[in-house]
Chain A
Amino acid sequence: MNTLLIIASKEVRDGLRNRWVVATTLLMAALALTLSFLGAAPTGSVGVGPVEITIVSLSSLTIFLLPLIALLLSFDAVVGEIDRGTMTLLLSYPVARWQVLLGKFLGHAAIIAFATVLGYGAAGVALSMGDAEIGAESWKAFAAMIGSSVLLGAAFTALGYLASTIVRDRGTAAGIAVAVWLAFVLLYDMGLLGLLVADGGKNVNADVVNWLLLANPADTYRLFNLTGFKNVSLFAGTAGLAAQAQFSAPVLLGVLAAWVVAPLALAAALFSRKQI
């Protein structure tokens, strides 16, 4: 346990030193603040609070941005250290390979969590200082959005680690990371839409679509945030979908957590067999 903390804290310090933490936090905060100010403008007549608007816009943005940041942070984690030669030395120390992998992951996940909580938290503070009355339910939805964003970031960090462990070359790892981002964030939904149109509702019913959405961490995140809370789904125009959704919030969170654990476990298994 101690070894994990030593490696994780080294990774966090590295992140602080090379400005990853600062850059990511500032980026998240800037975007979140912009969206919350924009979101505060059209309230009142629609009957939705500014928090709900912010959640919808912010979570949509998160789906694009956070996986990208997570993959950029993680694709180099294993293959880069092997390439630079620091891994050889590290593994000659009394550490197990899974400890190296998990320790580094915890460090990177902590960086993502820190940037997300602080960046989006700033937007929360800005919203609370506005004139509009904000109910407890809205704050709950906002907190859930931040928490699930951290999980989404962790899931893509884990995918980045898997990419970094599989290959022997940094360039290839970077390529895989970009491909993972494109596939899960952009192409998957297009493919799904295409499938629905082509099928015309004959074979692919709502059940199948629901399961297909779980097979993508980004969609799982979207389902959780846009259908999990009534006010949010009303505004997002996903109320209809919410009625169809058969998964409860804990199930969706569980699926996201599985998207963290499964790639990481696979990466650890591959890494322990890797000849350095």
Chain B
Amino acid sequence: MSEPTIQVSAVTKRYGEQVAVRDVDLDLAPGECVAMVGHNGAGKSSLIKLMLGLTTPSEGTVRLLGGDPASAAASHIRRQVGFLPENVAFHPNMTGRETLDFYARLKGVATRGNDALFERVGLEPAAIKRRVGTYSKGMRQRLALAQALLGGPKVLFLDEPTTGLDPALRQSFYEIIGNLRDAGTTVLLCSHALTELEGQADRVVVMNRGRKVAEGTLATLRSLAQLPTRIRLTLPAGDIDELARRVGEGAALTRLAGGVVELACANDDKVGLVRRVACALDMKQDLPVTDIEIVQPSLDEMYAHFLRREAAE
């Protein structure tokens, strides 16, 4: 296990009376993509600001690439960090190229590589010459990603990076992030578009009201949440009561539209349930199942579950 690039230990951040982050511990390793999910005001952006050294923790310590990000000597650390802020804003009077040149100079990166960066994020040469004030949300977001990628960062903070992006662009966006992660960059993603994080994040951190509610891989979170897995059978004209009797207990049965029947069972039982359904089909040929689909609990549902649990406590 290599040295973590980000270490957050027992960090609390208060703004006056209001507590934005409560006692959070978090370690991120190189080459890891971690997704942080939570409501607006769950403390995601506050945590990122702490990691960037824009604010200082009220309690606890934050280490970024081995140093204190808020210290005066943090300049060399920030040279290796990329940041895409939520609701990114640029100076509207500057063109796309001028903007990226400005940030490249601040970071001490040669502006020669900027054309390649524009191409990588998919900003057209015609758009680069225009003022940022005329940009659409998607174009601004691409420019924001381009500046975050300047100088090949070792740590990348992305706060709601895909808002305002069309699906095609979203895909190429995650492709870029996947490549960076494979090259050893630590990526911290914040989002509430949970479904699109599936398959992207190595680890998910669920935040609520400043607290870390749950953490783990999607599979771990799934078994922690113990949400039912659902099996959907399409039975255009079948005898549903017959099916229910044969499949037996341990499965709740719901009728959905279009002749679809949904069987919900515990995640550990799903293989057994499929087997029982198959047996039922074998024994009685007049149960015409035309389709079968296994639906895992989505990140959305798990997220909602953890919030409910938190509220119940």
Q: Is B108 engaged at the interface, CB distance under 8 Å to the other chain?
A: yes
Contact with A along B106-121 (1 / 0, CB 8 A): 1110000000000000
Minimum Cβ distance to chain A for residue B15 (Å): 7
Q: Which of A1-59 contact B (CB under 8 A)?
A: 3, 6-7, 10, 13-14, 17-18
Q: Is B79 engaged at the interface, CB distance under 8 Å to the other chain?
A: yes
Q: Is A136 engaged at the interface, CB distance under 8 Å to the other chain?
A: no
Mark the stretch among A92-100, A227-235, A251-259 that contacts chain B: A92-100
Q: Is B83 engaged at the interface, CB distance under 8 Å to the other chain?
A: yes
* Other-chain contact of A14, B56, B83, B91 (Cβ < 8 Å): B91
- With a CB–CB cut-off of 8 A, which chain B residues contact A3? 106
**A6 with B75, Cβ < 8 A, contacts A13-B94, A85-B88, A276-B54 known:** no
- With a CB–CB cut-off of 8 A, which chain A residues contact B107? 93-94
- Nearest to B131 among chain A residues (CB) is A17
- With a CB–CB cut-off of 8 A, which chain B residues contact A7? 106
A88 and B105 CA atoms in complex are apart in Å by 17
Minimum Cβ distance to chain B for residue A29 (Å): 24
Q: Is A203 engaged at the interface, CB distance under 8 Å to the other chain?
A: no
Q: Is B89 engaged at the interface, CB distance under 8 Å to the other chain?
A: yes
Q: Is the CB of B88 within 8 A of A275?
A: no
Q: Which of A83-119 contact B (CB under 8 A)?
A: 84-86, 88-96
* Other-chain contact of B54, A13, A86, A88 (Cβ < 8 Å): A88
Q: Is the CB of B85 within 8 A of A88?
A: yes
Q: Is the CB of A92 within 8 A of B78?
A: yes
A18 and B81 CA atoms in complex are apart in Å by 32
How would you classify the secondary structure of chain A's contact residues: helix, strand, loop or mixed? Answer: helix
Contact with B along A261-276 (1 / 0, CB 8 A): 0000000000000011
- Nearest to B80 among chain A residues (CB) is A94
A275 and B15 CA atoms in complex are apart in Å by 9
* Other-chain contact of B108, A14, A88, A94, A275 (Cβ < 8 Å): A94
Contact with A along B207-235 (1 / 0, CB 8 A): 00000000000000000000000000000
A86 and B52 CA atoms in complex are apart in Å by 15
Q: Is the CB of B88 within 8 A of A92?
A: no
- With a CB–CB cut-off of 8 A, which chain A residues contact B87? 85
- With a CB–CB cut-off of 8 A, which chain B residues contact A92? 52, 54, 78, 81, 83, 85, 157
Q: Which of A149-205 contact B (CB under 8 A)?
A: none
- With a CB–CB cut-off of 8 A, which chain A residues contact B106? 3, 6-7, 90, 93-95
**A89 with B81, Cβ < 8 A, contacts A94-B76, A94-B108 known:** no
**A93 with B78, Cβ < 8 A, contacts A86-B90, A86-B91, A88-B85 known:** yes
Q: Is the CB of A6 within 8 A of B49?
A: no
- With a CB–CB cut-off of 8 A, which chain B residues contact A90? 106
* Other-chain contact of B72, A14, A18, A86, A96 (Cβ < 8 Å): A96
Q: Which of B14-68 contact A (CB under 8 A)?
A: 15, 49, 52, 54-56
**A88 with B49, Cβ < 8 A, contacts A14-B93, A17-B93, A276-B55 known:** yes
A96 and B74 CA atoms in complex are apart in Å by 9
A264 and B49 CA atoms in complex are apart in Å by 26
Q: A95-B106, A275-B54, A276-B55 are in contact. List 7 more A-B contacts (CB 8 A).
A: A7-B106, A13-B93, A85-B89, A88-B85, A94-B75, A94-B108, A276-B54
Interface pairs (6), CB distance under 8 Å: A14-B91, A14-B93, A18-B93, A92-B83, A93-B103, A276-B55
Q: Considering the complex of A and B, which 7 residue pairs feature the smallest CB-CB distances, nearest first?
A: A17-B93, A85-B89, A94-B75, A92-B83, A94-B78, A93-B106, A94-B79
